Amino acid sequence: MRKTLGLAALTAALACSGANAQQVSVKIGVLSDMSSLYADIGGPGSVVAAKMAIADFTKANPNVKVELISGDHQNKPDVGSQLANQWYDVDKVDLIIDTPNSGVAFAVSQITATKNKVFVVSGAAASDLTGPKCNANTVHWTYDTWMLANGTGKALVKTGGDSWFFLTADYAFGHALERDTAAAVEKNGGKVLGKVRHPLNTNDFSSFLLQAQASKAKIIGLANAGGDTINAIKAGAEFGIVKGGQKFAGLLVFASDVAALGLPTAQGLTLTETWYWDMNDANRAWTKRWQQERAGKFPTMVQAGVYSGLTHYLKAVTALKSAADGKAVVAQMKTTPTDDPLFGKGTIRADGRKLHPAYLLEVKAPSESKYPGDFYNVKATIPADEAFRPLKEGSCPLVSG
C-alpha cells in the first residue's frame, strides 16, 4: 500500500518535472487504534480518509509528493510512544495524525514537541491537549471533552437533568471528560451525586450500574467511549435504568456506536458531534467515496477530521515549501484560515484548538429512520465561538506566557 502510493506519487511528480516545479516531499503517519475498542471510530477508516485527502491534494498540487504509513497503538501509551519515536527518527515521518485515546495522544504530543514535528489530533478528546499540556507542535482538530461537556451536559441540565452520577473510564480521557462535564453541570445549576471509575475496555457494567441506580441521580453520565459506552448502554437497557426514571448521557457517542447498539436501544440518546455524514450534500458525496473502501460502514467525525486536518497541513507545507520545521508549519496552519468540503471555513487558535460549530444531535427512533445510517435528528447548532473553551480559561502556557 505504502509502496504503491509512493510510486504513484513519484510517477506523478516525474510526469510534471518538465514544468520545473519544485518538489515538496512529505511523509505522513496515521497512528490509530486498529484492532481494539476504538478501531471503528478511527482505525482503518482514518487511513482511508487520509488517502482521500492525499489523492485530492496531489491532484491539485502535482509538485507535492506524499507518502503514507499507518500503525496500531493498541491503546497503550508505551506502544504509541515507541511507534512515534521510530517513525520520527528512523522512518522520517513529518506528521502524525489521528490517535484516538488521550493517554497515547499526551505521550505522542510530548515526543512531537521534542522532535519538532507536527501532531494533528483528530481522535483523542482530552481538552488538556490545548490546555496545560499544549505545545507549539500540536493541533487539536475535531472535538474535545470541554465541547462535549458543554454541549451535551449543558443541554441536559437545562432540560431538567440536574443530578448526575458518572461512570468514568479510568484513564486520562475519562478523567478529563468527567472533570469538564462536572464543571459544566455545576455551572448550570446541577449537582454531581457521585462517580465510579471502571477499567478501560470493561465487558460487564452491571456492578457499576447498580451503584448508579442506588445513587438515584437523574442522569447517569457515561464518561467513556467506544465499546465501553456500548456495553454500559446495553446493560442499562437490561437493568431497567430508563424505566426506573434515570437517563443516560452519552457524553461521547459516535455513529459507529449507534450502528453497533441498534436504534431500538440507542433511541433518544442526546449527544454532541462536530460532523455528521448525512447533514449536507458535500458530506454525503464524501461518504460515498469513503464507503468504496469501507463498505457497509459510516464515517465518524474523527475520520472526517483526519481528511480535513491533513488537507490543511498539506496546504501549510506547500506554502512553506518544506515540512522540516514543525513549529513553523503549525504557525502557518494557525495564521491560515481553514477551508475544506467537510468542515467548511474555520480557524486554528493560538493554543492549537481548531474552531468549528458543534451540533446537538438526538438518536432517531427506529420508525423515524428511513435508510441505513439515518441515525440523528439535528436539535441545535452551537456556533464555533461558543462551542469550545474560551482561550483565557485554558491555562495553556503558549497563551498566558
Partner 1 sequence: MFEIFGVPSNALFGQLLIGLINGSFYALLSLGLAVIFGMLNIINFSHGAQYMLGAFVAYLLLQYSGLGYWPALIVAPILVGITGMIVERLMLRWLYKLDHLYGLLLTFGLALIFEGVTRNYFGSAGLPYTVPDSLQGGRNLGFMFLPNYRAWVIVASLTICFGTWFVIERTRLGAYLRAATENPTLVRAFGINVPRMITLTYGFGVALAAFAGVMAAPIYNVSPQMGSELIIVVFAVVVIGGMGSILGAIVTGFGLGVVEGLTKVFFPEASNTVIFVVMAIVLLVRPAGLFGRRA
Contact residue for partner 1 among 26, 235, 333, 358 (CB under 8 A) = 235
79 exposure class (CB count in 10 Å sphere: 0-12, 13-18, 19+): middle
Segment near partner 1 (CB under 8 A); pick from 47-55, 138-146, 200-208, 372-380: 200-208
Contact residue for partner 1 among 26, 28, 43, 47 (CB under 8 A) = 43
CB of 34 to partner 1, least distance (A): 9
In angstroms, the CA 175 to CA 197 distance is 9
For residue 155, which phi and psi values (nearest 5 degrees)?
-60, -40
Number of residues that bind partner 1 (CB under 8 A): 42
Contact 275, 254 (CB under 8 A): no
Contact 9, 59 (CB under 8 A): no
CB of 171 to partner 1, least distance (A): 10
In angstroms, the CA 392 to CA 12 distance is 46
41 counts as binding partner 1 under rule CB under 8 A: yes
Binders of partner 1 in range 141-170 (CB under 8 A)? 170
Q: Cα dihedral sign for 206, 207, 213, 219?
A: negative
Binders of partner 1 in range 311-370 (CB under 8 A)? none
For residue 159, which phi and psi values (nearest 5 degrees)?
-100, 25
Contact 96, 69 (CB under 8 A): no
Closest Cα partner for 314 from 296, 289, 332, 287? 332
Smaller CB separation from partner 1, 85 or 211: 211
Closest Cα partner for 233 from 217, 248, 253? 248
193 counts as binding partner 1 under rule CB under 8 A: no
Contact residue for partner 1 among 13, 37, 118, 156 (CB under 8 A) = 37
What is the edge-to-edge ordering of all strands in the sheet holding 270-273? 270-273, 358-363, 376-382
264 counts as binding partner 1 under rule CB under 8 A: yes
Contact residue for partner 1 among 68, 96, 261, 301 (CB under 8 A) = 261
Contact residue for partner 1 among 61, 81, 163, 213 (CB under 8 A) = 213
Smaller CB separation from partner 1, 68 or 259: 259
112 counts as binding partner 1 under rule CB under 8 A: no
Contact residue for partner 1 among 8, 79, 110, 239 (CB under 8 A) = 239
Smaller CB separation from partner 1, 207 or 400: 207
In angstroms, the CA 301 to CA 254 distance is 8
CB of 352 to partner 1, least distance (A): 29
301 counts as binding partner 1 under rule CB under 8 A: no
Contact 306, 340 (CB under 8 A): no
Contact residue for partner 1 among 260, 331, 391, 398 (CB under 8 A) = 260
- What cell numbers appear for 323 in the block? 515540512
Contact 102, 172 (CB under 8 A): yes
Q: Where are the alpha helices (DSSP H) in 188-277?
A: 206-215, 227-238, 255-261, 263-266
119 counts as binding partner 1 under rule CB under 8 A: no
Smaller CB separation from partner 1, 23 or 35: 35
Smaller CB separation from partner 1, 201 or 336: 201
In angstroms, the CA 96 to CA 138 distance is 10
Contact residue for partner 1 among 238, 368, 386, 393 (CB under 8 A) = 238
Catalog residues that contact partner 1 under the rule CB under 8 A: 35-37, 39-41, 43, 170, 196-199, 201-204, 206-208, 210-211, 213-214, 226-227, 230-231, 234-235, 238-240, 244, 256-257, 259-262, 264-265, 297
